[in-house]
Amino acid sequence: MMNHAPESLRPLVIALDAMGGDRAPEIVVEGAALAHTRYPDVSFLFFGDEAKIMPLLAAHPLLRASSELRHTPDVVSSEMKPSHALRQGRHTSMRLAINAVAEGEASCVISAGNTGALMAMAKFVLKTLPGIDRPAIATLIPTQKGESVMLDLGANVECDAENLVQFALMGSIFCRTVLGRQEPTIGLLNIGTEELKGHDEIRIAASILRERPIPGRFFGFIEGNDVTAGTTDVVVTDGFSGNIALKSIEGTARLVAHFLRQSFEASWIAKLGYLLSRGAFQQLKKRADPRRYNGAMFLGLQGVCVKSHGGTDAQGFANAIGVARDLVAHGFNEKIAEELSMQYGFANGLIEAQHNDTL
Amino acid sequence: MMNHAPESLRPLVIALDAMGGDRAPEIVVEGAALAHTRYPDVSFLFFGDEAKIMPLLAAHPLLRASSELRHTPDVVSSEMKPSHALRQGRHTSMRLAINAVAEGEASCVISAGNTGALMAMAKFVLKTLPGIDRPAIATLIPTQKGESVMLDLGANVECDAENLVQFALMGSIFCRTVLGRQEPTIGLLNIGTEELKGHDEIRIAASILRERPIPGRFFGFIEGNDVTAGTTDVVVTDGFSGNIALKSIEGTARLVAHFLRQSFEASWIAKLGYLLSRGAFQQLKKRADPRRYNGAMFLGLQGVCVKSHGGTDAQGFANAIGVARDLVAHGFNEKIAEELSMQYGFANGLIEAQHNDTL
């Protein structure tokens, strides 16, 4: 029923967990349809409930013609614990979509489902890249200078210095790949109280980053306000602080929008001003649109895995697809492997040398 | 030269480090002058360079009449390490202003200088309240529901569960005292990844807060976006995460303002709209004005110590004075001591019982 084109005609296959997210499978199919018009080189492998997905695909004949659907009986719920999903979720849409990447059927996987479960399964199935101890979650953040990369956003509650150094390396290559900046600056998120500056692991990570040759340039410590100021191209932090910073940023954007709405509703002349300024507000809204920044990448895995926000719409999901496509098309993982190989003697995805004493 | 009114006529004396901050002593004297018109019951004890402060005071005869100036030869610089300030700074304006509180000459002390040095000196000179192991820095945060209290903002990079519980207690009483909410809700800042939720100390703190009778009501875990949403009246976190959250919030407010400016400059019709909406923008600006939220409190000391932002202006410094005055006038420290005494058997500033096994 679906079009099974030969592999050579499908250079970039994306596996989709069609059942993940608040409004799945609707937004997944709609998002794929949008992405398909943007990236005609991409085809999709849907995993999920056939009875629900088929009618949705029927509305998009072009998408349907370049897609394949695999029926999966189970779903990872949003409350499911990662360990439970790992043990019991072998027949879920999420797990089978990840498997498709491991088995070479797809170039990358995207899910809007349970983040913890997705990370646990992706790590278990895909494994980390040689030289990377722990995967990290990264995203693009809007800044006064454009966009910056921030990681980790919650995969690792506690990190040692070496983890942070690896995040710096991955974030820098991510920045080169996605934002095209050849010599990204890297900042380590810290607090400003001079003497006490930061946890031990941050201080040690800084001393390593000052000495070791890394892709990009180590800027030093930065503070919370530097993230949106765009002080550095890459912001490196542990998953606890990164998650809190990211969600504080999102919450503040909503607070200011709330204040703005209240201010403009306070008088008729302000309302008139608002009508005249609508274009400016729409521009602002577009710039700060969370859907533009949808798609958090799991970096450090042997395969590209992108997490879409669970509450996003089709537009947001299409953007997550775009991010995944860019990472694959620009050979992001190959570049990380290359960099690690140059630095540490890892090559071709195989560990050729253990960390030696000079590291 | 100054007016040495008898103690009975000066119910509330505030010691001011006149040399702390980017634009000291100017903004300190100007801020005191503003505060003096708002709070005629307050008088000031200035510590700093007489040659610089005298000419400034001369412009404010009313302030001058109810103030005293003590010449101090040294200054704590903004780069000075806290340990260095503690050892070498015995004759600085900051140290002598703190001493005035310890010696009963003043009810509280305010400085816009070096935060780390101020905390180190205040802790050394004033000591912590019985039952409080570590002081915390607290501030008010604007939220969608009004204002919330957040602590710690940087005094303690690492905290154990008991520290967090004490912060919850102090924050709750602070909220009652300053915001007048009798049954404040208390949230523990955490991240959303289910199973991995937070560091051990946060989980333990939550289990203690669920069981122990505390002033207010323990809400549970909250995330970064809950801070500005106003989900709880009090936000409790360690100094590292708290500092990063606070500065991320400040940075995002600046980012949105930057985006807004750019949007309105993009077309003449938007500019016209802006002119009509000016009132709304001024209202917004006033609401989000960082000077409104100036004045971070050092909670848990045997004396009220308020840190003003180093870069604030006279208006902001006057607000910090207002915060300090409110804490003293409403007997904030006495209320904490009372609460601790009820809960743990501490009374009258003396430890009457050690923590017993049931705690």
Mutate to test the interface with B, among A77, A84, A144, A191 (most CBs of B within 10 A): A191
- d(CA B80, CA B287) in angstroms, rounded, equals 34
Q: Which of A266, A291, A316 is the last residue of a domain?
A: A291
Residue in B199, B129, B194 with CA at minimum distance from that of residue B167: B129
CA-nearest residue of chain B to A153?
Answer: B191
Q: Are residues B267 and B158 part of one domain? A: yes
Interface of B with A in 318-337 (CB under 8 A): none
| A153 vs B72: CA distance, rounded Å | 48
In whole angstroms, give the CA distance from residue A38 to residue A319: 10
Residue B2 has pLDDT above 60, yes or no: no
Q: Which residues 272-311 of A are in CB contact (within 8 Å) with B?
A: 272-281, 283-284, 287-288
Nearest to A264 among B119, B259, B277 (CB): B277
Instruction: Supply the pLDDT for residue A214.
Output: 86
A195 inside 8 A of chain B by CB: yes
In a shared domain, residues B281 and B317: no
CATH number at residue A249: 3.40.718.10
What 3-state class would DSSP assign to A222? strand
Q: Check residue B194 and give its pLDDT.
A: 55
Q: What is the mean pLDDT of residues B44-60?
A: 97
A93-102, A244-253, A259-268, B10-19: which is most confident: A93-102
**Lowest pLDDT segment from A242-246, A316-320, A339-343:** A339-343
B183 at A interface, C-beta within 8 A: no
* Domain hosting residue A272, numbered range: 141-291
CB spacing of B254 vs A142 below 8 angstroms: no
Burial group, residue A1, by CB count within 10 angstroms (0-12, 13-18, 19+): exposed
Q: Residue B282: beta bridge partners?
A: none
| B346: pLDDT strictly greater than 60 | no
Let me know whether B79 and B198 are in one domain: no
Is residue B354, in this structure, part of any structural domain at all? no
Check residue A344 and give its pLDDT: 64
Same domain, A147 and A278: yes
Q: What pLDDT, in 10s, does the model give residues A113-155?
A: 998 899 999 999 999 998 899 999 999 999 999 999 999 998 8
B264·A277 Cβ contact <8 A: yes
What residue in B sits closest to A195 (Cα-Cα)?
B81
A88 touches chain B (CB under 8 A): no
A266/B247 touch (CB, cutoff 8 Å), yes or no: no
Same domain, B275 and B183: yes
Confidence check: pLDDT of B150 > 90 = yes
Least confident of A50-54, A309-313, B350-354: B350-354
pLDDT of B307 strictly over 50: yes
What is the reported pLDDT for A243?
93
Q: What is the 3-state secondary structure (H, E, C) of chain B?
A: CCCCCCHHHCCEEEEEECCCCCCCCHHHHHHHHHHHHHCCCEEEEEEECHHHHHHHHHCCHHHHHCEEEEECCECCCCCCCHHHHHHHCCCEHHHHHHHHHHCCCCCEEEECCCHHHHHHHHHHHHCECCCCCCCEEEEEEEECCEEEEEECCCCCCCCCHHHHHHHHHHHHHHHHHHHCCCCCEEEEECCCCCCCCCCHHHHHHHHHHHHCCCCCEEEEEECHHHHHHCCCCEEECCHHHHHHHHHHHHHHHHHHHHHHHHHHCCCHHHHHHHHHCHHHHHHHHHHHCHHHHCCEEEECECCEEEECCCCCCHHHHHHHHHHHHHHHHCCHHHHHHHHHHHHHCCECCECCCCCCCCC
Q: Flag if A288 and B154 touch (Cβ within 8 Å).
A: no
Task: Inspect the interface and report whether the beta carbons of A224 and B239 lie closer than 8 Å.
Answer: no
pLDDT averaged over chain A?
A: 87
Last residue of a domain, one of B292, B318, B353: B292
Q: Which of A114, A246, A251 sits opposite B229 (nearest CB)?
A: A251
Looking at A265, A291, A317, the residue that finishes a domain is A291
pLDDT reported for residue B266 = 73
Which of B191, B244, B278 is closest, CB to CB, to A154?
B191
More confident residue, B359 or B59: B59
Chain B: nearest CA to A340, how far in angstroms?
Answer: 29
Which CATH number belongs to the domain containing residue A56 in this structure? 3.40.50.10950
Q: How confident is the model at residue B12 (pLDDT cuts 50, 70, 90)?
A: very high
Between CA A254 and CA A243 the distance in angstroms is 17
pLDDT in the model for residue A286: 73
- Enumerate the β-bridge partners of residue B69: B46
CA distance B298 to B139: 9
Q: Do A264 and A318 sit in the same domain of this protein?
A: no
Q: Is the pLDDT of residue A26 over 80?
A: yes
Q: Name the band, by pLDDT with cuts 50, 70 and 90, for residue A352.
A: very low
Q: Is B221 on the interface with A (CB under 8 A)?
A: no
Does one domain contain both B12 and B58? yes
* CB pair distance less than 8 Å for A288 and B259: yes
pLDDT (0 to 100) of residue B275: 75
**Each residue's pLDDT tens digit, B65-114:** 999 999 999 999 988 989 999 999 999 999 999 999 999 999 999 999 99
In this predicted structure, what is the pLDDT of residue B10? 43
State whether B263 and A283 contact (CB < 8 Å): yes
CB contact A62 to B (< 8 Å): no
pTM: 0.86
Backbone angles phi, psi at B102, to 5 degrees: -60, -35
* B199 at A interface, C-beta within 8 A: yes
Query: Chain B residues with CB inside 8 Å of A85's CB?
Result: none
CA distance B33 to chain A (A): 30
- Asked whether residue A242 falls in the same domain as residue A316, the answer is no
Contact indicator for B317, B151 with CB cutoff of 8 Å: no
Q: Does residue B139 sit in the same domain as residue B110? A: no
CB A270 within 8 A of CB A281: no
Note the pLDDT of residue A183: 95
Specify the number of domains making up chain A.
Answer: 2
Do B287 and B304 lie in one domain? The reply is no
Taking an 8 Å cut-off on Cβ atoms, the answer to whether B277 and A277 are in contact is yes
Q: Work out the minimum CA distance from B131 to partner chain A, whole angstroms.
A: 24
Of A78, A68, A26, the residue nearest A47 (C-alpha): A68
On whether any CB of chain B is under 8 Å from the CB of A71, the answer is no
For chain B, say whether A87 makes contact (Cβ under 8 Å). Answer: no
* A68 and A161, same domain (yes or no): no
Q: φ, ψ for residue B169 (rounded to 5)?
A: -65, -50
Model pLDDT, residue A343? 72
At B296, phi and psi to the nearest 5? Answer: -95, 130
Contact B196 A288 (CB under 8 A): no
Q: CB neighbours of B306 closer than 8 A, spacing ≥ 6?
A: B108, B109, B110, B111, B295, B296, B297, B298, B320, B321, B323, B324, B327
Whether chain A has a CB inside 8 Å of the CB on B246: the answer is yes
The pLDDT of residue A217: 95
> A232 and A121: one domain?
no
| A276 pLDDT more than 60 | yes
What confidence tens digit (pLDDT) does each residue in A178-202 have? 888 999 999 999 997 555 567 889 9
